[in-house]
Structure 1
Amino acid sequence: MWLRQAQRLIVALSGGVDSGYLAFLAHQELGTQALMVTGDSPSLARLEREAITQFVTRYGMRHVFVETHELDHPAYRANPVERCYFCKQELFGQLWSLARQEGIGVVCDGTNADDMNDFRPGQRAAAEQSVSSPLAQFGFTKTDIRERAQHWELPMADKPASPCLASRIPHGQPVTIGKLTAIERGEQALRALGFREVRLRHHADVARIEVGAAELSRALNPAMAARLVAALKPLGFRFITLDLEGFRSGSLNPAAASHAAACHTERHTESPSALSRTL
C-alpha cells in the first residue's frame, strides 16, 4: 500500500474534501508519522483556518501551519493566469524545507483524478518539486472522495469548494491585501445573511455576488438586495451586482484555460485500511 510504503510523509492540507480525506487516510495508516501542513497567508480566510484547526484537533492529527509569502513575489501579485503556479511554488518550497528538517522524504497533495482535466497551473509546480498526488495517481475522482468522506462522516464531506481568496480576483488585476480583506469580510457578511454557497468576485469597484441556484430567488428579494448593498458598500465597492448564473466554482477559469490552450497552439467499505488499500 502506497501510504505504508511511504512510512513518513507530509500532506498539504488545504481544508477541502480532497486533502482532508487524504489527511484522514494518512493519519489512520501512519499516525504521527504523517504530518499535515497548511500554508497560512492573507489568501487563507480566517474561517478556513479555524475549520482546519477543528478538523485536525478532532482526529488528533499532527499538524502545523507554515507562513507562506506568495504576496512577496511580483509575479504572484500581478495575478497572471498562472498565478496558482507561483503560489504552489512558494508553498511546496516551504513544505520541502520542513520535510528536510523532519527527515521526511515524501510530500503529497490532494489533487484528484478530475483535476487532471482542469486548468490548474499549480500542478506544474507540484511536478517540478516532486510532490506526489496519490488520489489522482490511483484514479480517485471528486465523487469517489465525497462518498468516502461521507461514509467516515468527515466534516468537509459536503463542503463546497473553497479555493484561496485570490481566486476571486480576475486575472490581470493585481492581488493586494486590501482586496483580499474586502473579499473575506464580504463573504463573511453573505454567510451571516444565511447564504451557504457564496463567492464575492472583486472587479475593482464592482462586487459580483455568486450564490447557489437554490438561493438566487432569496437574493433577488428587494429587501434582501438592500441588505446586501448595505453589507458590501462599506467595504469600498461602488456597485453591488448579483450574477444571475449563480455560484460557479472556478467561474474565472474558462478565460484562463482558453489563454493557456492558445499559448500551447467529488463506495462504502468496512474499514479505513480497506478504503485506502491502494493508497
Structure 2
Amino acid sequence: MSINEKLDKLKEILKEMGSVVLGFSGGVDSTFLLRVASDVLGDKVMAITASSAAFPQREMNEAIMFAGNNKIKHKVIVSEELDIDGFSQNPIDRCYHCKKELFTKISQTAKEEGFKYIIDGANVDDKGDYRPGMDAARELGVRSPLLEAGLNKADIRALSKDMDLPTWDKPSFACLSSRIPYGQEITREKLGMIDIAEQYLLDKGFRQVRVRHHGEIARIEVAPNEREKFFSLNLMDETASKFKEIGFNYVTLDIKGYRTGSMNEALNKE
C-alpha cells in the first residue's frame, strides 16, 4: 500500500468514527493525527493533554500552541503518575498503570463532552518495542487510527512535511520517567534533575537528547550524529560542572548514542 493510500485509509477510519478525543502529547505522531482528524471531522475533534511532573513544560507549551494556532478544541488535565499506587516503585509495567489512569480520565471527559471514540497516536513501529501502555489503551477501548491505517513513523514524518507541520522533523520524546531504570524509585526530585539536565543540552544545540538517571550517575544519550560535539573539552567541562550543580556526582556519555527503548535492553537479556 502506498503512503497516499494509507493516508486515504486513515481519513476513512476517522470519518467512520464521527467524533474523537485524542490523547495529545504534541509529538510527531499525535500532532499529525490531530491535524488529519481536524481536517476530516472539524469541530468533532478534541485534544487532551495531561499535565504531570514527567511531562516537561516545553512540551506542554508546544501542544497548547499547536492546538491554538489550528483552532482545535483542547483541554489540559492533571494526570499525576506519582499519585498512582505502585507507579513510583517503577515496575516494568509502569507505562500500563500510567496509560490506564490517563485514558480513564480522558474517557470520562469524552463522555461528558459527547464524543464517541478515544484515539491515540500509536503507529506500526510501536509494535516493535515493549510498550505495556498499549495494552492499557486496548483494554479501555482506545483506538489507534495510525496503526489501523498501516502508517509507520517514516510515513508520518513524510506526510507531516508535505502538510507543513512543524513537528515533521521533531525528535522523538518519551515521558521523563522512562529515563529511570526499572525498579529504581521515581521521585519528583529525580524528574526535576532530568528535566533541567535535558533542557541544558537542548539549549546547547543538541536535538535528540536523553539523560538517564542512574543514581549519582547521569548517562547522556544524544543522536549518533551528534556525539562528536562532545569532543570539545570546554563543552565536557561545562557539562560536568552543570550536571554536578544539578545533583549528579558523575557524568557519562553513552558512546552508542540515543536509541529508542535503551532502558528495555536489560529486559531483553533476561
Does TM, normalized by the shorter one, top 0.5? yes
Residue by residue over 1:69-121, the C-alpha shift from the partner in whole angstroms, topping out at 9 and shown as x without a partner, is 22112321111111110110110011001011111220000100111222110
- Corresponding letter in the other structure for 2:93: E
> What is the match of residue 250 of structure 1?
261
Query: What is the aligned counterpart of 1:212 among 216, 219, 223?
Result: 223
Determine helix, strand or coil for the equivalent of 2:86: helix
Contact 2:18 2:116 in 1 (8 A): no
Q: Which has the higher contact order (CA 8 A, sep 6+)?
A: 1
Query: What is the aligned counterpart of 1:94 among 105, 120, 132?
Result: 105
> What is the match of residue 30 of structure 1?
41
Query: What is the aligned counterpart of 1:144 among 143, 155, 161?
Result: 155
Check if 1:40 corresponds to 2:40.
Answer: no
> What is the match of residue 66 of structure 1?
77
For structure 1, list consecutive stretches of 5 or more residues without a partner in the other structure: 260-279
Q: How far, CA to CA, are the matches of 1:91 and 1:235 in structure 2?
A: 30
> What is the match of residue 208 of structure 2?
197
Q: After superposition, where does 1:1-279 map in structure 2 within 5 Å?
A: 1-257=12-268
Q: How far, CA to CA, are the matches of 1:14 and 1:196 in structure 2?
A: 18
Q: How far, CA to CA, are the matches of 1:119 and 1:216 in structure 2?
A: 26
> What is the match of residue 4 of structure 2?
none
- Corresponding letter in the other structure for 1:131: V
Q: How far, CA to CA, are the matches of 1:258 and 1:136 in structure 2?
A: 28
For structure 2, list consecutive stretches of 5 or more residues without a partner in the other structure: 1-11
1:249 is displaced (CA, Å) by: 2.5
- Corresponding letter in the other structure for 1:185: I
4+ residue stretches of structure 1 with deviation over 3 A? 256-259
Q: How far, CA to CA, are the matches of 1:200 and 1:217 in structure 2?
A: 17
Determine helix, strand or coil for the equivalent of 1:132: coil
Residue by residue over 1:105-159, the C-alpha shift from the partner in whole angstroms, topping out at 9 and shown as x without a partner, is 2000010011122211001101110000111112111111111011101111111
Residue by residue over 1:151-204, the C-alpha shift from the partner in whole angstroms, topping out at 9 and shown as x without a partner, is 101111111111001111111111111011000000111112221211110011
Give the total of aligned pairs: 259
Determine helix, strand or coil for the equivalent of 2:74: strand
> What is the match of residue 277 of structure 1?
none
Identity %: 38
Contact 2:206 2:226 in 1 (8 A): yes
Residue by residue over 1:179-232, the C-alpha shift from the partner in whole angstroms, topping out at 9 and shown as x without a partner, is 110000001111122212111100111011111222212213211100101211
Residue by residue over 1:232-272, the C-alpha shift from the partner in whole angstroms, topping out at 9 and shown as x without a partner, is 1111111011111112232112223555xxxxxxxxxxxxx
Contact 1:41 1:67 in 2 (8 A): yes
Q: What TM-score results when the alignment is normalised by the length of structure 1?
A: 0.90
